[in-house]
Chains A and B, each alone.
Chain A
Amino acid sequence: MIAVKDKAKTFDLPKDDPRTKLLMSTLKREGTRPDALIQVLHTAQTLYGYLPMNVIRYITQSLRLPPSRVFGVVTFYHFFSLKQKGEHNCLVCTGTACYVKGAEKILEEINKAYALKAGEVTADNNLGLQTARCIGACGLAPAMVIDDNIVAKVKSEEVTGIIRSRIGEAK
């Protein structure tokens, strides 16, 4: 999918995008050490919110790695996403403590209100839903994260209210 067929042709990112500059400086700092790959991908995901195909191609070329290797790493780790996330994102923890305390009910409620399953985004792109294996907030189970803020001890009947108060409407 991302194999560069014409080897002589190099691949560039839009120069006027400020994110390109930041990504380039990270690549420059890490050099061409192949072990820098995961760190670079972390930076790229923070910058773009996900890993667009052209960014992956660019990284592949800069680190002089085979595309298969980069794609392999991207798809192996849960943290990296090839799909665009929503404007706002809700991450429901499904770790053991949250499971025991009813994480699935929270997911059900969200599904009922927004017709969303884990990994999906609403049609208006305002809300994305993800699940996590454990966010380490087990003492506050069940927990979810809305746009980097942990919401503790979530009651399933209040879920939609909490989401609405933080991000407004989503369809």
Chain B
Amino acid sequence: MNLKELNDIAQKVRKKNEGFKKKVCVCCGAGCLSSGSEPVLKGLQQAVKDKGLENEIEVIPSGCMGPCNQGPLVKVLPDQTIYQKVLEPQVTAIVERHLSKQEVVTEMLIFSDSREVSADTSQDPFFKKQFKIVLQNCGNINPESINDYISVDGYRALDKALRLMSSEEVIAEIKHSRLRGRGGAGFPTGLKWETVYKYVASEKYVICNGDEGDPGAFMDRSVLEGDPHRVLEGMAIAGYAIGAQKGFAYIRGEYPLAIKRFDQAIKQARKLGLLGKNIMGTEFSFDVEIRIGAGAFVCGEETALIASIEGKRGTPRPRPPFPAESGLWGKPTLINNVETFANIAPIILRGGEWYSEIGTPKSAGTKVFALAGKIQYSGLIEVPMGMSLREIIFDIGGGVPGGKKFKAAQTGGPSGGCIPEEYLDTKVDYESLVSLGSIMGSGGLIIMDETSDMVDVARFFMEFCMDESCGKCVPCRVGTKQMYDLLSKICFGKAREYDLKLLEELAVYVKETSLCGLGMSAPNPLLSTLRYFRKEYVEHLKGTPASQIPSLPVS
């Protein structure tokens, strides 16, 4: 494979696409599949054939389009018209009216049951306010076809890096882009790459962290399902930059479709010589293997993840040495999140300068969020850093449904915190969220309305951390249990003032003395709800139990 062959494939696909008047994408992400998009895809393909339109209209399965709640979704290109809740009976309407007669089926347009929308649904606030880099191809190409990916400039960044850039230049470009780790902590990606690059070793490894353990986050899943080649290309470029020949993608066992699609992508890339020995005729060799996670939240922590790839219990170890120096099998290892890798190809192609101008001065680029909970339009969105929470929740997400009042936005999962209404105008970036007592996290954004009891929310997350604590260090193992018991006592209206004082003291100890990120951040939901919703704690101290007595079992 060389640039010419890459161009040939791209041209062939584009020429084929030009032959079609319309392209119909049927969302086949896990969300829409569960709403029943597979029979819709087959139905559409058959109906188009029956009408004799198969030479004019192409029907393909695609990745996630965003508003999962409205699924199954069908998008007609180039019209940019998205139809919602399309089931088999609705297929005929799309074929008979839109595809045959150019007549938009207004009653099936996305969001049409709750607001006015035009036929060009990309003008709807849900889509218009977004800025897509990572999700650029999601929902527009067939994720199971490498040719489709190549036709949208796929693997061109890898070609550019291998042919025209040295390792140092690739790293310099990433540094210049000011991209920061999208897994949550926000460590500068270029700096991490440079550190691993500088260590001399016979072998180095690239690891893609796809162990999206935060409950309420599904960005990585959607990217892996909707555009797996983008992640693969990012990993290969990283391998070239740091001098690694082997990569591992650690994907959650709970995501069978993501595993299947990524595995398929690896095989396709190998076949075309985009992975394997002497990629694109250069000296560079790189291959990727999948490792399937087995359901442990702590494995999102890098040293625990490495232990898990080595086939051991996923327990973290003290750092230093950092994985950059001594990681997988003691070799220098680069670990980045799925979304970070998905950002690499566009940065190499369009330059770090372009990327650094998006977002805020300290946090460049865009961030993918998973909107869920008590929100009108839940789903997957990508916005530039620095957009306010209010815009994200009310303009894009449509606010809280059912006439209820907004109460809090929870970011960062069990490691994050709850942000109340008065801070909704905060511009979202790594620093601003930390100053509010939360964290960016991997991008889960759960909206809670007035019916949520914040003490019980804190208890929910504490139960999670208690159960997921690996048990290696005492502060986390014992501390989370004690905090959980105290929170339960408060929830059931059986606590006294002394208990709250003890809880606050304990939270600080656990935060300061735990071994890894899980323990260090476990008190965050508690501390942030105490900070903003203390009134509710005090209310329970008077003997009022939580409105809904929680009964979530400890599994």
Contact = CB atoms under 8 A, between A and B. Distances in A.
Binding partners A and B: yes
Interface of A: 33-39, 41-42, 69, 72-73, 76-80, 94-101, 103-104, 107-108, 117-119, 130-141, 143, 149-152
Contacts of A100: 372-374, 446-448, 452
Contacts of B452: 100
Contacts of B67: 139
A131 B216 contact: no
A132 B551 CA distance: 15
Given A107-B551, A108-B551, A138 B370 contact: yes
A149 B34 CA distance: 7
Nearest to A136: B218
A139 B373 contact: no
B213 A133 contact: yes
B505 to A, nearest CB: 27
B216 A35 contact: no
A95 B215 contact: yes
A97 B216 contact: yes
B480 interface: no
B311 A34 contact: yes
Nearest to A152: B34
Nearest to A153: B69
A69 B34 CA distance: 38
A154 B221 CA distance: 22
Contacts of B68: 137, 139-140
A77 B216 contact: no
Nearest to B315: A76
Nearest to A37: B311
A3 to B, nearest CB: 18
Interface in B513-540: none
A61 B214 CA distance: 36
Contacts of A97: 215-216, 372-373, 378, 446
Contact of A137 (B218, B373, B550): B218
Interface string B205-230: 00000001111111001000000000
B231 to A, nearest CB: 16
| Top-5 shortest CB links A-B | A139-B68, A95-B215, A150-B34, A77-B294, A78-B295
A47 to B, nearest CB: 15
A107 B33 CA distance: 24
A139 B34 contact: no
A138 B313 contact: no
Contact of B31 (A42, A72, A104, A139): A139
A100 B461 CA distance: 12
A38 to B, nearest CB: 5
B410 interface: yes
A147 B308 CA distance: 27
A136 to B, nearest CB: 4
Given A134-B254, A150-B34, A119 B555 contact: yes
A72 B218 contact: no
Given A118-B553, A132-B254, A39 B291 contact: yes
B255 interface: yes
B552 A96 contact: no
A65 to B, nearest CB: 9
A99 B553 CA distance: 12
A157 to B, nearest CB: 16
B30 A96 contact: no
A103 B295 contact: no
Given A39-B292, A136-B255, 11 more contacts: A33-B311, A35-B311, A38-B292, A96-B372, A97-B378, A101-B374, A119-B555, A133-B215, A133-B464, A134-B215, A137-B34
Residue of B34, B296, B311 with highest tally of chain A CB at under 10 A: B311
B309 interface: yes
